[in-house]
Structure 1
Amino acid sequence: MSGIASPALVLAAKDPGDEVARRFRFQWTWAAIACCTLLDKTQKIREVFCEHHEDILIKHEDGTFSGLQVKTREGGQDAWRTTDEAVRTSCARFCKLDEQFPDQFVAFKFLTNHPIRTGKTGKDLKYVLGEIAKGKDSAEALPKPVQAFLNIVSRLAECDDMIVRRALEKTSADDTLPKLADVEMRLISTLTGEELWPRAAELVHASVARAAKYLVTECSRASSLAHKDVLPGYLPITSMPLATEVSARIEGKRIDAAKLLYVLEDGLSGTLPLDGPTERLPELGKGSPALLSTKLNAGGFSAISLNSAADLRNKAEYLGLVAENPVFEAHSRRAGALKRHLDLTATNLMKFIYQTFPEVISLRSNAVIPT
């Protein structure tokens, strides 16, 4: 047995589940980036839907829609071509949607983080779509490779040739999405740039990153029927169980500007874990302000700044001492549950605890405030 490696130390050769999950996470993160357009008034976007008819469905303020397909590939793979099954099936989906909802879609987009083949040939997706978009009088007027692609998509979609042309005339392809490892940073930079979310200017990077992760989590829930987790158990015996479930499903996939801002703020009010091992931190109530004073003096800070910094440090230690008390911890859990229902901000949580559980105030007298 000593010569056999432990499975805990050997990568699985034929278990792609982790890679599939990584690609889903990329799609959820890109959906979060798409949600940021809700804060850009120039884009005139009303709602974003996750995994609703398309990977991402955009509803514009005028009531029309755009359907987005998100595809990923690793850097070492071949460039996308019109002969790829994923390309053809995506275009066929666009055609089916345009047939099902005539005159409601203004655009379809094939989005990818991997290069699309170039060369102005029948394998160049951008070239093929560009030729179709020129709106020739008949398919026969198009180059032969473009006609061949239209025929293939028409067979896959099982749609009339005119419907296929109409759908692909408003279809475009873009290969500028970030790489798999870079998409989270793209989301953070989107939230902090272009004054989309003014609140971000007041926050440190770690806080914006935490809010971004909350938004990604919300997009993953919107994409995965998370609404079923909260449907009432008595739903099957109600008068319209199917209609209720369908309504909840669609609502669970929908994100508007108000919901987006709520999720971001909720991410900020969540608990931020400590970075690094806690055993290296000094024991609460037994630290010294000497190092703080030395550094502030070296920086030339005024006496007022020194006093303010010392006061803030003392308050932080005080809150830490109170939070360590098991009585406070139990009350805090109860308050946290109520906080979510009452939609309180993190700033008001301590006030809420004191008002709801007066006995916690007695903990003040037991806390030793360092001087």
Structure 2
Amino acid sequence: MKSPNLVLDKADPGDDVAARFDYQHSYAAINAIRLTTGEGNLNEVICENHEDFLLKNSAGKFIGTQIKTRKITLSPFRASEAQVTNALGKFCLLDQKFPTCFEGFDFTTNHAFWENEQSLNNLPWLLTTLRQRGGIKGLRENSPLRQYVEGIASSTNLSPQNVAATLIRTTVRGHEAEITHIRSNVQEALCECPGIEELPYATVAAIAKALVQLAREASAKTLRGPITELFAPGTDLKQAVDDQLLAGKRICKADVLAIINRFKGGSKPFQDINVSALVTPSDAPADLVIAFRKLAKGGVEAGRVTNIEDRVRSFEALFLEWSRKYGVDEARKRYNNVLAAVQFEAAEAHAGAEKGGEPYGSAMFGVLAERLMARARDDRDQLHGCRPEHLIGAAGLLTQQCKTWWSPHFKVAEDAP
């Protein structure tokens, strides 16, 4: 007899909807991080108010942002799709509702935009051409650009000139990635903040999750303020509620710094961290989740952990190059020789670092990096010309395979405090 907990329900869209909202909240968190880095000269992120979120700059101008998600296996967005024209029409209406308030508009997707030819389906080309021309004046009636602008004008009851003025200030971004990859992008954005790369990866992962939660809460109808303000004598209750709802939608620099500083000062021992909950397949490369969990448990810094993926890909690319040049059997022989050499060096680094007490992952990484640099220099021929970054990548693969550890052993997939 089949059991429901052992059969995947492929007809239930609930998890897909949750992933789409998580993408939006994570993207809002990335923009909230920009408040602390000064990128874009932003001073506020306002969630789920008129658009998916608004970005307010120091001059008091706004950028309206819409986030659209799509399974990466589906075709790219075409300009003629209703989902696209409706989004652009909403930008145009918002621009007219609040004249002179918007510096620009942003249409962002995890997917991509169709660009095969210059036609009514090619949104990047339409917007770029419109921007270069400064409008549709002088275009023939059968011009795709004129037809596109006039189509949106007809659906919104706006003039073509007003629609063109909004579209000229509209940008599109296609990231061409799975929806779930956005979580690791939050961590990467965090590492752009001064001093964050030097924090343990586990701390940065916790900060990233907290910032996504901050954006999630700001996207809900949350009152922000003391309840006494709502019922004070002479207060307009409706206006007071609206004011607190708007306050709940705002994320400012102080909100982001408060979360960062709270976790930076945390003292929870790394051996007590539930890394399975902290590092999920959404937070790390799918094929390196175990490696990231083990590095997190060892207290290795965020900058080192996030660079591991690049090193692994570099070593994998070298294997493919060997396969093309020398055949798969010789490539596999070289690959295994390098892994064996790196495993020895990792074991030596581990033996020395663990004597210093937990967490020792950071010290071990430093020792291993030095040993691998020396090995790459002194045994270049035996290591088939591998550079230090290839050897670090090999260490990452050994970590994923549970042949190298950065802390005492634990159940990687079932870790619990």
TM-score, structure 2 length as denominator?
0.61
CA distance 1:142–1:210, change in 2 (3 Å): farther
**Which of 73, 78, 84 matches 1:76?**
73
Native 8 Å contact 2:112 2:176 kept in 1 = no
For residues 141-193 of structure 1, give each alpha carbon's deviation from its aligned partner in whole angstroms, at most 9, with x where no partner exists.
Answer: 58621222112211232222221111111112111264312111111111113
1:248 aligns with 2:244: yes
Q: Which letter maps to 2:31? A: A
- The aligned counterpart of 2:315 is none
Q: CA deviation at 1:252?
A: 0.9
**Which of 208, 227, 234 matches 1:232?**
227
**Which of 92, 96, 110 matches 2:93?**
96
Native 8 Å contact 2:135 2:168 kept in 1 = no
Task: Write the distance in 1 (CA, Å) between the matches of 2:72 and 2:358.
Answer: 53
Task: Write the distance in 2 (CA, Å) between the matches of 1:130 and 1:298.
Answer: 59
Native 8 Å contact 1:69 1:110 kept in 2 = yes
**Which of 299, 302, 315 matches 2:352?**
299
Q: Quote the RMSD (CA, aligned, Å).
A: 3.0
**Which of 59, 84, 88 matches 1:87?**
84
Native 8 Å contact 2:43 2:252 kept in 1 = yes
Native 8 Å contact 2:35 2:44 kept in 1 = yes
Native 8 Å contact 1:32 1:187 kept in 2 = yes
Task: Write the distance in 2 (CA, Å) between the matches of 1:24 and 1:300.
Answer: 42
CA distance 1:177–1:75, change in 2 (3 Å): closer
Native 8 Å contact 1:58 1:67 kept in 2 = yes
1:205 aligns with 2:201: yes
Task: Write the distance in 2 (CA, Å) between the matches of 1:311 and 1:251.
Answer: 43
CA distance 1:16–1:53, change in 2 (3 Å): same
Native 8 Å contact 1:29 1:216 kept in 2 = yes
**Which of 61, 64, 70 matches 2:61?**
64
1:30 aligns with 2:27: yes
Task: Write the distance in 2 (CA, Å) between the matches of 1:217 and 1:300.
Answer: 36
Deviates more, 1:214-223 or 1:124-133: 124-133
Task: Write the distance in 2 (CA, Å) between the matches of 1:311 and 1:103.
Answer: 57
Q: Which letter maps to 2:145? A: V
- Residues 209-220 of structure 1 aligned to structure 2 (within 5 Å): 209-220=205-216
For residues 253-282 of structure 1, give each alpha carbon's deviation from its aligned partner in whole angstroms, at most 9, with x where no partner exists.
Answer: 1111111111222344566863379xxxxx
- Residues 265-304 of structure 1 aligned to structure 2 (within 5 Å): 265-268=261-264, 274-275=273-274, 299=352
Q: Which letter maps to 1:91? A: L
CA distance 1:115–1:231, change in 2 (3 Å): same
CA distance 1:297–1:74, change in 2 (3 Å): closer
CA distance 1:204–1:310, change in 2 (3 Å): closer
Q: CA deviation at 1:234?
A: 9.1
- Flag structure 1 segments of 5+ consecutive residues without an equivalent: 278-294, 314-371
Task: Write the distance in 2 (CA, Å) between the matches of 1:300 and 1:22.
Answer: 40
For residues 20-59 of structure 1, give each alpha carbon's deviation from its aligned partner in whole angstroms, at most 9, with x where no partner exists.
Answer: 0110001100110111211233521111111121112111
- The aligned counterpart of 1:188 is 187
- The aligned counterpart of 1:107 is 104
Higher Rg of the two aligned structures: 1
1:140 aligns with 2:139: yes
Task: Write the distance in 1 (CA, Å) between the matches of 2:350 and 2:39.
Answer: 48
Task: Write the distance in 2 (CA, Å) between the matches of 1:11 and 1:28.
Answer: 26
CA distance 1:142–1:174, change in 2 (3 Å): farther
What secondary structure, in the 3-state scheme, does the structure 2 residue paired with 1:140 have? coil
Task: Write the distance in 2 (CA, Å) between the matches of 1:44 and 1:32.
Answer: 16
Q: Which letter maps to 2:156? A: A
CA distance 1:137–1:265, change in 2 (3 Å): same
- The aligned counterpart of 2:414 is none
- The aligned counterpart of 1:344 is none
- Residues 147-186 of structure 1 aligned to structure 2 (within 5 Å): 147-176=146-175, 178-186=177-185
Q: Which letter maps to 2:241? A: E
Q: CA deviation at 1:233?
A: 8.6
Identity of matched residues, %: 28
Q: CA deviation at 1:248?
A: 0.8
Native 8 Å contact 1:136 1:142 kept in 2 = no
Task: Write the distance in 1 (CA, Å) between the matches of 2:122 and 2:93.
Answer: 22
